[in-house]
């Protein structure tokens, strides 16, 4: 190995050197190096192996276009797979490993696959591995495929910030055109962002010594100073990776190795793309050999990193060859000029290039620099389906300004403008929003085609190992469309997404089909422009930030009482209280409630007020049940249906006065019900006659339920004393508690006498503590949701969504009245009378029992009809061991269940059958004596 | 992330909005007899145009329901109209 | 004549520079008249043509497409194949498809790489396990393989998943369908195209249907960029654009078009050997044979015909993935794209007569059309050949909406399909 750093480049600090490793060898790099520049400086040429044939591969490019130099990097015990060596900044102590090679890139045991190449061409796998089946061959293929390995390591702090920003003008790319555009717009008073993915701004320009008569570096510095002085926001290491609808740009901002990049969602009124152009490779035999570089990369390494790619360098270029020659000469690099169109051009060497064959000579070289033309970087333009036009003289697709997506503009080389003067004046026009028709005819760049011989050794996509021959075979087999060729050969589908291979592929395809490139068309570019970590898209929307559960105001109190907090309908609520076995606590809480009383935090219940002169008729329309005759002080249970007639929500409606109602929907449906009410209110009703106000979060509700409930409530410091003879079931009244409104509703989900006490949330803690204190000597205590769920099952009450599904209609649950009798229109009404809704085999709500000594019926078991091939006729939706009845009980939906009461039915669970008796869904206090006690 | 103009709140992030229905659907009078087809057409049939569309959306944060005119391919928004006009 | 594919032919062609491979399909000029025209050369259209020719002897068939065969949703999906559905009607349909897939490579002489690596539908709570039991029982009763497995069994199959007990969505178990898996999507389209072509079907690409020829209230053919082509029967299989096509026949469908996004990561060495779906986080993923993680989720929020994705759905789906498998947070995303899907009110497809004589519909597959290609093709071919529904397609007729006979998988299970 030799050091090929000839001088200090602009970007590296040769005074700050440090060690790193490549494939186990210790090497030295400098501050400012990329991994690739450091490897080249150390004379490392073979960096990886091809995906399919494991041919040796080296660095080709110097930035995001690089197809080969993909490495696995470990730093501070963090390993990242598939890092691009050309864009990853070198840091002290990095351990760099080649991927797809074992034990190392230089000596890869699978290198022999190259010999089998003739059998492994495009799509070979579609033609074999069919017998006995693919799954047998698959593990072997999978092991061969894939680049780096991802560790199962989780980095705790690997989390992306996400910022949202806006600006007038975003300029992407800080080359000369981008700088001029940014400066012009900023000086015109617009709020401007200028971003570039490089670590150093303005470092991408190496062709011109002078710009506008000033030394290039000093010109760039002047522009940057002016841009910043004009108030623009300027970011380096920031990639615009995608443009989304309504001019939203995804910006990825690097934060250092193994740190999650930041996502900036920037909405810009205008987006000016100054993204430059990418060098095309040339097609000739063995054009994939290590030591063959793109022209711009060779210049980049030389000027920015002080690294010469060789001492005697072949140059085969269709663009700016003279300038390159001069630059090399200035650095005392010997240049062998080669004709890029030479039909006999080929590279020779085993693991790296050693010589070049031409039609006239064999030249010994240690590197070959090529340029087969330029491809404007139009990915972002294409993300928004911007129109393209074939520009013949430069053999390139350029953005068609007449088919520009809203707010999108392209300047500079990305627009196909390859002369500096034209590019700068055009950029000025575009920046101030003036129409500009740049001259694209000033420069001509030929496009050498593939050589006719050795087509299976001319590499189009070096990362996916696709040759000209592969394209030929695809065409021969009539995979003739550009999309078919891409997919059949996998051309352009590698990590680099065809940045270098795409145009070569189109040219080879056009060549083979004897048509022009624009007739072949182009494949679609997809975001992101460069690979972006998943975490950058996902941001912090994980763990509790992922669909965050709603919290009760009394949560700390419940925690202090050792509540098991579980998620119910999007709310974190106490399931039961106390450590240890859940079933024991649940049983104890049920018995406590049935015998004394339980105190439940029911704050999650919906409390939506519906007010106004039309409120009564409105609710009568929105609810299945009649509400037009609900009297003030009364409460009614009812269903909300979808227009399709299925039960959406159940809840109770309070009539506060003639024009004011409270909809107490189930806790999981508050947002949905509110939305439903609002949409019916505004679309189909007069919204000035009805108001909907969701007050759920303003009120806390505590339910006291059980035989001692009345004693407990009456022991509160209230101005009234409840009298059960007057305060009947399904009534409510208002009182004051600690100078605040207290709403007391007599509704029950447990089957016992219950009072729902609602107070402003500020009073919740006091009320809860008062109730617990009063309840304690009466053996009443906190009650969790699980016990409540058991008690409601004992009563045969449904939980919508658990006991019903999207097909359940109210008459399936025994609520037939309104369907038959309600004369006013209501949501879902007509759907209750379709052929299906009238079917006699609908699944109806019933209970099931098994003898006391038998195990519980599992929830999720199906009810089946007999026979060899059992068929589902229903499901078990709820099942408990009833502490009250000391026997298993179950509920579910059964075909024509209401007609089968008393029958035995087969229960089917995971292949096992048992028997159960169909009963009425109400197991407890069937007469309602406890509920209506007064 | 698209931006839709709420007639009251102005341009807002699409995540604040909820698509309700295509505009122009009229609920049949269900107090008189209507056939299955009429009801199914109201419930399920969509124009689903490729191009200019008119839809009813809700701005979830202010609860306003409004008419949105936009293009279903380019996503360009041409207009949003309060349903209250003429009330 | 197309070449027969085998290890032998591959060896032979290797020796002779691949020179002997014939065309996978012809590029014929359209005839003036066909027995059947199928609009849409995606998986469903091509499979329909194949089964028309093979099962019904109807070979005078054209499949026409405005673009390239397999260029729509067939080539844009996440390649999952499964039949884990709740209702008997759905199980019959999708399991027919899985059964056909099981033999498809050999039948078509084209390796579609059906990899029966199994699908895990994760359950994240006790109630979800109960729902999982209901679902598993339904599948078993419908004759589809299914198991409700516990967390240890999930870990054995997919150790990369998040098994922290304090995870936002802790894993309690999963519904496991072992016969489910993935296939190579392009190969399915290409395999059917090649086999249909070999049976005499004309596949006509880049031939946009501009109008339907309507005579006496019946559909008699199509008016295309290449002139009028007539047929006795026309079948439309144009997922994503079904409403646009129906509009040409002056009918409206119960369909909304939405963009569905898919994502693929950089290629990695094998880390995930099955498909995992987390209904709670709204994300599913698998790993392709090439090594990329293939990631999908729910549809975008805004009705759309724009074949491109949008950031809110990306954030939801990908943060969901990170929650499902936190170690993958550092993996880089390579590409994302979107297809336009037909969304029906009950998330079930529409197969049957359109209401206009001579015009038949195969549409409404929502996000799950790929897995149904063989069955959709077989059933649609039956319909076009006989004019009658196959018993399996009968429930999916358009008339189910007026009858209120929806097959609402989403509503039944709470699991998005």
pLDDT digit string, tens, across residues C400-409: 999 999 999 8
Q: Does domain C119-178+256-343 have CATH number 3.30.565.10?
A: no
Cβ atoms of B75 and B2 closer than 8 Å: yes
**Has residue C416 got a pLDDT over 50?**
no
**Inter-chain contact C336–A528, Cβ cutoff 8 Å?**
yes
Look at residue B11 and tell me whether its pLDDT is greater than 50: yes
Taking only the tens place, the pLDDT of each residue in C124-161 is: 999 999 999 999 999 999 999 999 999 999 999 999 99
pLDDT of residue A522: 87
- B75 to C256: CB separation less than 8 angstroms, yes or no: no
Give the distance from residue C390's alpha carbon to the nearest chain A alpha carbon, in angstroms.
21
* Mean predicted lDDT score pLDDT of chain A: 94
- pLDDT of A934 reads 67
Phi, psi of A594 (to 5 degrees): -65, -35
From C159, C291, C330, residue closest to A158, measured CB to CB: C330
> What is the domain class of A608-694 according to CATH?
alpha beta
Q: C133 vs A910: CB contact, 8 Å cut-off?
A: yes
| Shortest Cα distance, chain C CAs vs residue A477, angstroms | 4
Nearest to A757 by CA among A768, A749, C85: A768
Partners of C113 on chain A (C-beta within 8 Å) are 125, 129, 134, 138
CATH topology of domain A839-919: Elongation Factor Tu (Ef-tu); domain 3 (2.40.30)
- The pLDDT, as a whole number, for residue C412 is 64
Q: Can you give the residue ranges of every domain in chain B?
A: 3-25+37-82
pLDDT of residue C2: 65
* C401 vs B44, B48, B73: nearest CB: B44
Specify the pLDDT at position A852.
87
| CB < 8 Å to B12, chain A | none
ipTM of model over 0.90: yes
Distance between B37 CA and the closest CA of chain C, angstroms: 5
Tokens representing residue A407 in the block: 């707010």
pLDDT at A147 over 90: no
pTM of the model: 0.96
- What pLDDT score does A209 carry? 82
Residue spans of the domains in chain A: they are: 13-108+281-371, 163-278+375-431, 449-520, 555-604+698-792, 608-694, 839-919
Task: Collect all residues of chain C within an 8 Å Cβ-Cβ radius of residue A913.
Answer: none
The fold adopted by the segment(s) A13-108+281-371 is Ubiquitin-like (UB roll) (3.10.20)
> How does pLDDT run across A286-299, given as a tens digit for each residue?
999 999 999 999 99
Tell whether domain C10-83+86-110+185-254+346-413 is in CATH 1.20.140.10: no
- Whole-angstrom Cα distance, residue A57 to residue A52? 12
pLDDT in tens, A737-774: 999 999 999 999 999 999 999 999 999 999 999 999 99
Q: What are C's interface residues with B at a Cβ cutoff of 8 A? A: 241, 243-244, 247, 252-257, 301-306, 310-312, 345, 401-404
Q: What CATH number is given for A449-520 in this structure? A: 1.10.10.1100
How many residue pairs from chains B and C have C-beta atoms closer than 8 A?
A: 70
- Could you report the per-residue pLDDT of A535-580, keeping only the tens digit for each? 999 988 888 888 899 999 999 999 999 999 999 999 999 999 999 9
Question: To the nearest whole number, what is the mean pLDDT of chain C?
Answer: 95
CB < 8 Å to C337, chain A: 524, 526
Phi-psi region of A130 (alpha: psi -120 to 50; beta: other; left: phi over 0): alpha
Q: What is the pLDDT of residue A542?
A: 83
> Each residue of C186-239: pLDDT tens digit?
999 999 999 999 999 999 999 999 999 999 999 999 999 899 999 999 999 999
Name the residue facing A146 among C267, C280, C410 (closest C-beta).
C267
The per-residue pLDDT for B87 is 45
Minimum CA–CA partner of A242 in chain B: B1
Q: Give residue A3's pLDDT.
A: 56
Residues of A in contact with B63 (CB under 8 A): 674, 678, 692
Mean local confidence (pLDDT), A10-39:
95
CATH topology of domain A555-604+698-792: Gyrase A; domain 2 (3.30.1360)
Residues of C in contact with A130 (CB under 8 A): 5, 105-106, 109-111
Looking at the predicted structure, is the pLDDT value of residue C1 above 60?
no
Nearest CA in chain A to C68: A481
The CATH number fitting domain B3-25+37-82, selected from 3.30.2270.10, 3.30.70.1450, 1.10.1610.10, 3.40.50.300: 3.30.2270.10
Residues A713 and A705: their CA atoms lie apart, in Å, by 10
Distances A695 to A664, A671, A699 between C-alpha atoms, Å:
10, 11, 7
Residues 228-257 of A with CB under 8 A from B: 244-246, 248
Q: Do C267 and A145 touch (CB under 8 A)?
A: yes
Whole-angstrom distance, CA of residue A606 vs CA of residue A551: 14
Check if the beta carbon of residue A777 is closer than 8 Å to that of residue A558.
no
Query: CB pairs below 8 Å between A and C: how many?
Result: 310
Q: Which of A51, A567, A806 sits opposite C412 (nearest CB)?
A: A806
pLDDT at A678 over 70: yes
pLDDT of residue C16 exceeding 70: yes
> What's the CATH class of domain A163-278+375-431?
alpha beta
Query: Which residue spans of chain C are classified as CATH 3.30.9.10?
Result: 119-178+256-343
The answer on pLDDT for A114 being more than 90 is: no
């Amino acid at each position: 190995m030799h050091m090929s750093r000839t001088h200090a480049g602009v970007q590296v600090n040769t005074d700050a050197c440090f060690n790193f490793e490549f494939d186990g060898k210790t090497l030295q790099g400098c501050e400012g190096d990329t991994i690739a520049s450091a490897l080249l400086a150390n004379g490392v040429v073979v960096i990886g192996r091809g995906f399919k044939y494991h041919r040796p591969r080296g660095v080709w490019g110097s930035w995001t276009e690089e197809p080969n130099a993909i490495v696995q990097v470990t730093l501070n015990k963090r390993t990242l797979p598939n890092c691009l060596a050309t864009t990853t900044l070198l840091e002290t102590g990095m351990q760099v490993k080649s991927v797809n090679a074992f034990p190392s890139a230089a000596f890869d045991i699978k290198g022999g696959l190259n010999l089998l190449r003739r059998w492994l061409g495009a799509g070979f796998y579609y033609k074999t591995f069919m017998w006995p089946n693919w799954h047998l061959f698959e593990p072997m293929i999978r092991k061969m495929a894939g680049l780096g390995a991802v560790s199962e390591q989780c980095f705790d702090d690997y989390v992306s910030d996400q910022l949202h920003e806006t600006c007038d003008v975003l300029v992407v790319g800080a080359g000369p055109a981008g700088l001029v555009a940014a400066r012009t717009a900023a000086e015109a008073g617009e709020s401007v962002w200028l971003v570039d993915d490089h670590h150093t701004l303005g470092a991408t320009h190496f062709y011109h010594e002078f710009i506008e008569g000033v030394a290039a570096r000093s010109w760039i510095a002047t522009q940057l100073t002016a841009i910043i002085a004009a108030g623009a926001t300027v970011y380096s290491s920031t990639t615009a990776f995608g443009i989304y609808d309504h001019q939203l740009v995804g910006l990825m901002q690097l934060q250092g190795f193994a740190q999650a990049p930041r996502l900036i969602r920037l909405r810009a009124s205008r987006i000016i793309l100054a993204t430059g152009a990418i060098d095309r490779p040339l097609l000739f035999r063995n054009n994939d050999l290590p030591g063959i570089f793109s022209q711009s990369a060779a210049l980049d390494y030389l000027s920015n990193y002080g690294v010469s790619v060789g001492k005697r360098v072949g140059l085969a270029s269709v663009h700016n060859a003279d300038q390159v020659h001069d630059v090399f000469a200035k650095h005392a690099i010997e240049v062998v000029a080669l004709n890029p169109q030479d039909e006999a051009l080929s590279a020779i060497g085993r693991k790296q290039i050693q010589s070049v064959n031409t039609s006239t000579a064999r030249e010994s070289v240690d590197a070959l620099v090529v340029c087969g033309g330029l491809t404007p970087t139009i990915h972002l333009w294409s993300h928004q389906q911007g129109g393209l036009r074939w520009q013949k003289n430069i053999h390139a697709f350029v953005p068609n300004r007449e088919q520009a997506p809203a707010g999108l503009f392209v300047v500079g080389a990305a627009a196909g403008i390859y002369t500096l003067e034209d590019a700068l004046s055009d950029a000025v026009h575009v920046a101030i929003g003036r129409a500009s028709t740049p001259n694209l005819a000033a420069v001509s760049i030929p496009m050498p085609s593939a050589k006719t011989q050795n087509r299976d050794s001319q590499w189009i996509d070096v990362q996916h190992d696709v040759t000209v021959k592969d394209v030929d075979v695809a065409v021969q087999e009539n995979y003739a469309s550009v999309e078919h060729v891409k997919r059949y050969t996998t051309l352009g589908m590698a990590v680099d997404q065809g940045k270098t291979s795409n145009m070569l592929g189109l040219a080879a395809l056009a060549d083979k089909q004897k048509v022009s490139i624009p007739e072949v068309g182009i494949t679609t570019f997809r975001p992101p422009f460069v690979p972006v970590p998943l975490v950058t898209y996902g941001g912090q929307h994980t763990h509790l930030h992922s669909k965050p559960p709603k919290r009760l105001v009394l949560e700390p109190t419940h925690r202090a009482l050792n509540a098991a907090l579980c998620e119910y309908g999007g709310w974190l609520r106490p399931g039961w209280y106390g450590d240890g076995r859940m079933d024991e606590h649940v049983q104890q809480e049920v018995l406590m409630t049935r015998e004394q009383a339980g105190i439940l935090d029911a704050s999650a219940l919906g409390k939506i007020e519906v007010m106004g002169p039309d409120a009564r008729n409105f609710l009568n329309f929105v609810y299945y049940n009649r509400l037009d005759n609900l009297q003030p002080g009364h409460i009614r249970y009812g269903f909300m249906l979808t227009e399709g007639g299925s039960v959406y929500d159940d809840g109770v409606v309070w009539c506060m006065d003639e024009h004011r109602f409270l909809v107490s929907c189930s806790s999981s449906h508050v947002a949905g019900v509110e939305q439903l009410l609002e949409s019916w209110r505004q679309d189909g009703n007069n919204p000035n006659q009805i108001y909907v106000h969701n007050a759920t979060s303003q009120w806390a509700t505590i339910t006291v339920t059980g035989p001692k409930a009345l004693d407990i409530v009456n022991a509160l410091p209230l101005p009234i004393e409840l009298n059960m003879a007057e305060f009947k079931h399904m009534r409510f009244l208002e009182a004051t508690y600690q100078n605040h409104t207290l709403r007391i509703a007599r509704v029950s989900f447990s089957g016992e006498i219950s009072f729902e006490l609602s107070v402003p949330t500020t009073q919740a803690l006091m009320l809860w503590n008062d109730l617990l204190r009063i309840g304690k000597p009466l053996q009443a205590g906190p009650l969790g949701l699980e016990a409540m769920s058991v008690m409601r099952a004992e009563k045969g009450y449904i939980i919508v969504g658990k006991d019903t599904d999207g097909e359940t209609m109210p008459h399936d649950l025994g609520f037939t009245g309104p369907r038959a009798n309600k004369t006013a229109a209501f949501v879902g009404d007509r759907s209750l009378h379709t052929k299906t809704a009238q079917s006699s085999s609908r699944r109806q709500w019933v209970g099931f029992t098994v003898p006391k000594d038998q195990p519980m019926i599992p929830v999720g078991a199906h009810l089946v009809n007999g026979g060899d091939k059992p068929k589902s006729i229903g499901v078990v939706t709820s099942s408990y061991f009833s502490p009250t009845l000391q026997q298993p009980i179950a509920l579910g939906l059964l075909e024509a269940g209401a007609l089968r009461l008393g029958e035995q039915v087969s229960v089917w669970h995971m292949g096992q059958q048992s028997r159960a008796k169909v009963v009425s869904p109400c197991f407890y206090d069937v007469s309602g004596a406890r509920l209506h006690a007064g | 992330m698209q931006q839709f103009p709420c007639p009251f709140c102005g341009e807002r992030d699409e995540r604040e909005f909820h698509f309700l229905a295509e505009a122009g659907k009229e609920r049949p009078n269900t107090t008189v007899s209507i056939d299955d087809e009429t009801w199914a057409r109201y419930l399920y049939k969509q124009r689903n145009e490729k191009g200019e569309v008119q839809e009813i959306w809700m701005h979830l944060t202010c609860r306003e329901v409004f008419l949105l005119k936009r293009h279903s391919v380019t996503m360009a928004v041409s207009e949003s109209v309060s349903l209250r006009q003429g009330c | 004549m197309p070449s027969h594919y085998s290890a032998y032919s591959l060896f032979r062609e290797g020796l002779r520079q691949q020179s002997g491979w014939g065309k996978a399909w012809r590029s014929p000029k359209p005839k003036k008249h066909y027995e059947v025209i199928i609009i849409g050369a995606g998986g469903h259209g091509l499979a329909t043509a194949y089964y028309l020719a093979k099962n019904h002897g109807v070979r005078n068939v054209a499949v026409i497409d405005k673009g390239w065969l397999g260029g729509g949703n067939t080539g844009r999906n996440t390649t999952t194949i499964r039949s884990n559905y709740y209702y008997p009607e759905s199980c019959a349909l999708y399991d027919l498809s899985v059964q056909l897939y099981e033999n498809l490579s050999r039948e078509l002489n084209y390796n579609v790489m059906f990899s029966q690596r199994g699908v895990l539908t994760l359950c994240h709570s006790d109630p979800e396990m109960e729902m999982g039991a209901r679902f598993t029982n339904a599948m078993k009763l419908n004759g589809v393989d299914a198991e409700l497995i516990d967390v240890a069994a999930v870990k054995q199959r997919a150790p990369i998943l998040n098994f922290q007990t304090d995870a936002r969505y802790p894993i309690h178990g999963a519904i496991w369908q072992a016969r489910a898996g993935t296939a190579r999507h392009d190969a399915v389209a290409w395999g059917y195209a090649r086999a249909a072509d070999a049976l005499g079907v004309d596949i006509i690409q880049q031939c946009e249907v501009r109008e339907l020829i309507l005579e006496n209230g019946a559909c008699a053919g199509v008016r295309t960029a290449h002139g009028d082509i007539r047929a006795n029967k026309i079948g439309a299989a144009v997922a994503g654009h079904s409403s646009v096509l129906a509009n040409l026949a002056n009918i409206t469908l119960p369909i909304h078009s939405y963009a569905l996004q898919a994502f693929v990561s950089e290629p990695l060495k094998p880390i995930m050997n099955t498909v995992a779906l987390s209904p709670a986080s709204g994300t599913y993923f698998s790993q392709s044979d090439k090594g990329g993680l293939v990631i999908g989720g729910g549809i975008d929020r805004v009705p759309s015909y724009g074949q491109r994705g949008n950031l809110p759905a990306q954030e939801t789906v990908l943060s969901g993935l990170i929650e499902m498998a936190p170690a993958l947070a550092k993996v880089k995303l390579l590409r994302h794209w979107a297809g336009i899907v037909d969304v029906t009110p009950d998330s079930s497809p529409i197969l049957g007569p359109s209401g206009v004589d001579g015009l038949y519909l195969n549409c409404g597959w929502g996000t799950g059309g790929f897995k149904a290609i063989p069955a959709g093709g077989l059933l649609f071919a039956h319909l076009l050949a006989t004019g009658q529904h196959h018993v399996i397609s009968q429930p999916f007729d358009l008339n189910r909406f007026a009858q209120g006979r929806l097959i609402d998988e989403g509503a039944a299970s709470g699991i998005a399909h």
